[in-house]
Amino acid sequence: MSKRIVINPVTRIEGHAKISIYLDDQGEVADARFHVTEFRGFEKFCEGRPFWEMPGITARICGICPVSHLLASAKSGDRLLAVQIPPAAEKLRRLMNLGQIIQSHALSFFHLSSPDLLLGWESDPAQRNVFGVMATEPALARGGVRLRQFGQTVIEQLGGRKIHPAWAVPGGVRSSLSRVGREQICQQLSEAKKTILETLTLFKKLLEDFQEEVHIFGNFPSLFMGLVGADGTWEHYDGCLRVVDSGGNILGDQLDPSNYRDFIGEAVQPDSYLKSPYYKPLGYPDQTQHCRLENGLYRVGPLARLNICDRIGTPLAEIELQRFRQYDMGNSSFFYHYARLIEILTCIERIELALDDPDLQSHHLRARADVNQHEAIGVGEAPRGTLFHHYKIDDTGLLTYVNLVIATGQNNLAMNRTVAQIARHYIHGPQIPEPMLNRLEAGIRAFDPCLSCSTHAFGKMPLQLQLISAEGQLLAECYR
């Protein structure tokens, strides 16, 4: 008889999820699934709100990446007003997004994933956490904390607070960067750059010990999607979409993000609150065990951004990008960790260059208008990948429709492929040592999923209702 093994909860990720492993009669893995078990539904309860409020509301979707929602929402607002925001406002928004990427990537690598890499998959679960890293690698742990603090300093000096800044608004931003704020950022730049360069050196040494994981953790052909500049340079705030396959062939380029519905479909699976976007021209992926190039499964985020860009655009990060590509492992989700570190470096370099721009102290920060469009789509690159905010409003500016296409959702199909691949490699029989289960969780952690962002209603919402007696007996059960 087949057997189901459940990992619940998946640890060291943002949000609530579980993994189900299905064994056949011979004890081999027949399938493995990643289930997101929490539901929030921001899309629905935002209906009826004035679109002016949306940047502040949607920033509260997540405490890890509030800036990403703040900016995507404000960009939708810009389009509803049909205005071109002042150049200083765009530069300031870009600066805040760079800080957001740094602090989020630092959290993912140092706090959530480094315990596996530094302490080992087989280490004591009670010690395999950030406190264990602090005990064994105090200098590295401190560097990670300080690096995240640097990203938060950028956000705070622009928006007035580290989390949920109500700063970007339709038409621009509320305030510029003060001279005092600029000095505080400058004072931390040197330490931040030193930390990330040392961490990159360490990670490349660690790769020598993790060749098995590199080849097993989500190493399969897929598409990759993200924003690039007009010249193909790495982009994080604006630009057009590019889709490439695993061989680096460009399938779609200079795609207008406002037309995302032409090439991104959104499917629903009955065992998860996470939507499953796919690339429409190649269709919804089949459910066989074999990954094929001719299907619409795609990945977003730092790995995808490095795979699709022609260049990264800053000197030190460009050197690291070329080294990254020499490994020829851009299909491996394990390399999300490597890509995050390179992105932190380019963000630091870009901040360093931006701080000398006098526009950051400009007072011309906002274009003002009334409702001029009834539908708009704002798009940017969140730390975890491309983020879409799609709004429709009435004549008074009240929202009648909201659709959020979140990066973690776009990685959903790839995460399911990843846990199935890892499970089939490591699990043979009903007795599964804890380190093997930890590897399954680590496969998910490589994507750094943000589940609070990505759980929304779409189509028919799955619901299971159980009536349990005081003695723990199941009395009745129904599904919708």
- Residue numbers in the known binding site are 43, 62, 65, 404, 450, 453, 456
CB-based contact 446:310 (threshold 8 Å): no
CB-based contact 166:59 (threshold 8 Å): yes
| 220 CB-near residues (< 8 Å, 6+ apart) | 291, 331, 417, 421
- Residue numbers in the known binding site for Fe cation are 65, 453
Alpha carbon of 198 to those of 77, 123, 254, 344: distances in Å? 41, 24, 36, 12
Tokens of 480: 């919708």
CB-based contact 72:387 (threshold 8 Å): yes
Cβ atoms < 10 Å from Cβ of 300: 29
Q: Which helix (H) or strand (E) holds 322?
A: helix 315-326
Q: Which helix (H) or strand (E) holds 103?
A: helix 87-106
CA dihedral sign, ordered 57, 82, 233, 266: positive
Distance (Å, rounded) from C-alpha 160 to C-alpha 155? 8
Q: What HEC string does 202-263 produce? A: HHHHHHHHCHHHHHHCCECCCEEEEEECCCCEECCCCCEEEEECCCCCEEEEEECHHHHHHH
- Residue numbers in the known binding site for Ni(2+) are 65, 450
- Residue numbers in the known binding site for Mg(2+) are 43, 62, 404, 456
Cβ atoms < 10 Å from Cβ of 286: 12
Distance (Å, rounded) from C-alpha 419 to C-alpha 441? 8
- Bridging pattern class, strands 223-228 and 298-299: parallel
CB-based contact 454:34 (threshold 8 Å): no
